[in-house]
Amino acid sequence: MEQPPPSDPSSRSRRDSDAGAAFVLESKGEWWHAGFHLTTAIVGPTILTLPFVFRGLGWGLGFTCLTAMGIVTFYSYHLMSKVLEHCEKAGRRHIRFRELAADVLGSGWMFYFVIFIQTAINTGVGIGAILLAGQCLQIMYSDLSPKGSLKLYEFIAMVTVVMIVLSQLPTFHSLRHINLASLFLSLGYTFLIVGACINAGLSKNAPPRDYSLESSKSARVFSAFTSISIIAAIFGNGILPEIQATLAPPATGKMVKGLIMCYTVIFITFYSAAVSGYWLFGNKANSNILKSLMPDEGPSLAPTSVLGLAVVFVLLQLFAIGLVYSQVAFEIMEKQTADVNQGLFSRRNFIPRLILRTLYMIFCGFMAAMLPFFGDINGVVGAIGFIPLDFVLPMLLYNMTHKPPKSSSIYWINISIMIVFTGAGIMGTFSSVRKLILDANEFKLFSSDVVG
């Protein structure tokens, strides 16, 4: 079992023989590369869930929660970056979230807690990316061959094969060009879908709109917390230290520029997708707005060519997202199995990398085929994974490293955020798991339909 790293500068000598750091998390990037990685980690097809989120919150609370989450996460990631810079100036450059938590908090259990949460996030997102990519292929196939016999799990298998090939790109830094393309793809499908929603809303075939919430007060509460959990999952990434590790040292100030790039794209895409989709469908919004625009019954609400291109853009970006969130798993595997004294592409290192990464992708693909719960997985992962790592730990780590006076506003802002989001995470976990259980009544192993 991997042990917590020592917090003193002598730990640097260990990293000289750390294959996970040397091979997967090599530090050669510039701030714009970090911006590409961050954008891919946050701005993904999960934004197509935002109209569904507004369905559980309504206009006012939807805007409020989306804006609050945006402000808090930017603030949180900025604090995390400052904690990493603080440790770097003290001679301890941490390239892994788990090392940072173990150093600052000085607790062995926290080290393993972060490993568990990161693993849940990375695996959950990996499964979700493959599942949604398979669904994209299924959508295109159904349009071209309405009576075709291929099932969802067969498309998932196709996606998994492509992911196995792409996963052999050896380092996080080697994804920089793919993640630049991912940034443009996210803008591309957002503009296409927003245009499709506006066009459909102004046409004579526009669906009737009803923005009312659920009639039961308890159902409204559960739906609201599920929606908050999904927003947390959409804004979360849980791998900021690993992304900052790709920056060529010193990293001081570089992540702020990367965050500004990322949040510019977030502002453009998140609000436009949420507003246009909820405006068009109201409380009938599906957990994937593409499915709402292409209903199972009745005509499509947008030109097939427009929706088809959007689906292709989504599909291509999902490969990048799956790769980004696999990097922590790859780093852990190669820390244990690779030999840093031999070359990255030596037979000694290439063969274990090929086998382990292939097995990891096969596992994610199998789980995606077996458990098609895309919308529900978002909520559970957000509540259990992203909220602790992105809304609680950064504030705690900052207060412990920078030690702001207890009379200062920043100290109490951090404490307040920690308390509020701990409560939201607990409630979100209950509501998300509740929805998962309710949807399980409709669930069949290896179903050809995505539930939620």
Question: Would you state the pLDDT for residue 390?
Answer: 84
Question: Would you state the pLDDT for residue 418?
Answer: 92
Tens of pLDDT, residues 391-403: 888 999 999 999 9
pLDDT for 95 beyond 50: yes
Q: Buried b vs exposed e over 60-73: b needs ≥16 C-beta within 10 Å?
A: eebeebbeebbebb
Among 108-112, 127-131, 160-164, 307-311, name the one with the lowest average pLDDT: 108-112
**What percent of the chain is predicted at pLDDT more than 90?**
37
pLDDT for 275 beyond 90: yes
Mark out the alpha helices in 202-303 (DSSP H runs): 217-235, 240-245, 254-281, 289-293
- pLDDT band (50, 70, 90) for residue 263: very high
pTM (two decimals): 0.87
**What percent of the chain is predicted at pLDDT more than 70?**
89
Question: Would you state the pLDDT for residue 7?
Answer: 43
Question: Would you state the pLDDT for residue 378?
Answer: 58
| Mean pLDDT value across the chain | 84
Tens of pLDDT, residues 201-232: 988 888 888 888 887 888 888 888 878 878 88
The answer to whether the bond into 5 is cis (omega within 30° of 0) is no
Question: Would you state the pLDDT for residue 1?
Answer: 44
Nearest partner of 372 among 150, 52, 137, 134, judged by Cα:
134
Q: What is the full DSSP assignment across 319-338?
A: HHHHHHHHHHHHHHHHHHH-
Q: List the structure tokens of 262.
A: 């990322």
- pLDDT band (50, 70, 90) for residue 12: very low
Among 265-269, 336-340, 400-404, name the one with the lowest average pLDDT: 336-340
Q: Residue 29 pairs with which residues in a beta bridge?
A: 247
Rounded CA separation 140/159 (Å): 14
Among 54-63, 234-243, 295-304, name the one with the lowest average pLDDT: 295-304
- Mean pLDDT, range 102-109, rounded to an integer: 77
Rounded CA separation 40/379 (Å): 19
pLDDT for 13 beyond 60: no
Tens of pLDDT, residues 356-391: 999 999 999 998 888 765 556 656 666 677 778 888
Q: List the structure tokens of 401.
A: 């490293």
**SS3 labels along 94-124:** CCCHHHHHHHHHCCHHHHHHHHHHHHHHHHH
pLDDT for 4 beyond 50: no
Tens of pLDDT, residues 181-194: 999 999 999 999 99
pLDDT for 57 beyond 60: yes
SS3 label, residue 247: strand
Tens of pLDDT, residues 232-247: 888 988 889 889 988 8
